[in-house]
Amino acid sequence: MPKTKPALKKNIATRIFITVLGIGFVLYGLSTVSLGFFGEKGTAVITNIRREGGERDEVIRGRYTYIISYTFEMPDGKSVYGLSRRVGNSVYMKADGKSKRSVRYFEFFPYINALAEDTKPGLGHLIFVAIGCFLIYIMNRREKSVKDL
């Protein structure tokens, strides 16, 4: 009997970890979309664009992942930083500090922010929510006993 207790603790720890991971997926998918509906609007200045890694391993050749860094000012004058990812071809513009984009943020916590074009509902957000719900469901469903059958 003592051998099953550590296994039970390990099982519970794994279930908690994967459930928390699922909650994170759901929150990420919903927070980005909710920025589009409930977030405050602002104007961000693109501060840096850099290419991440090498060429993407896709059917279409010459595609890269870019990280776009930006900053925007709150109404009280406080600067907040953010970043976004884009997939594009090998030709890209360097940031000159003058390019501006629309940004959405939560007034109560501006560190949750995104470029406005990233806040439009799409398939990617739905996939994050679906994966999160799936992980939560799989880890917390009741297993049927022999009596229930």
List strands edge to edge, sheet with 79-89. Answer: 79-89, 63-73, 40-52, 100-106, 109-115
Q: Given CA atoms 58, 63, 69, 72 in this order, what sign does their dihedral have?
A: negative
Q: What is the pLDDT of residue 65?
A: 86
Predicted confidence at residue 53, as pLDDT, reads 76
- Tokens representing 10 are 């390990």
Task: Give the global pTM.
Answer: 0.73
Q: Is 1 domain-assigned?
A: no
Quote the pLDDT of residue 73.
92
146 occurs within a structural domain: no
Q: With respect to residue 61, please indicate whether it lies within any of the assigned structural domains.
A: yes
> Does residue 13 belong to any structural domain of this protein?
no
Structural domain including 115 reads 21-139
Residue 16 lies in a domain: no
Q: What is the pLDDT of residue 18?
A: 93
Residue 6, pLDDT score: 58
* Tally of domains within the chain: 1
Residue percentage of the chain with pLDDT more than 70? 89
**What is the pLDDT at residue 49?**
87
The amino acid occupying position 50 is: R
Listed as ranges, residues in the chain with pLDDT below 50 are: 1
Q: Give CA–CA dist 60/89, Å, rounded.
A: 10
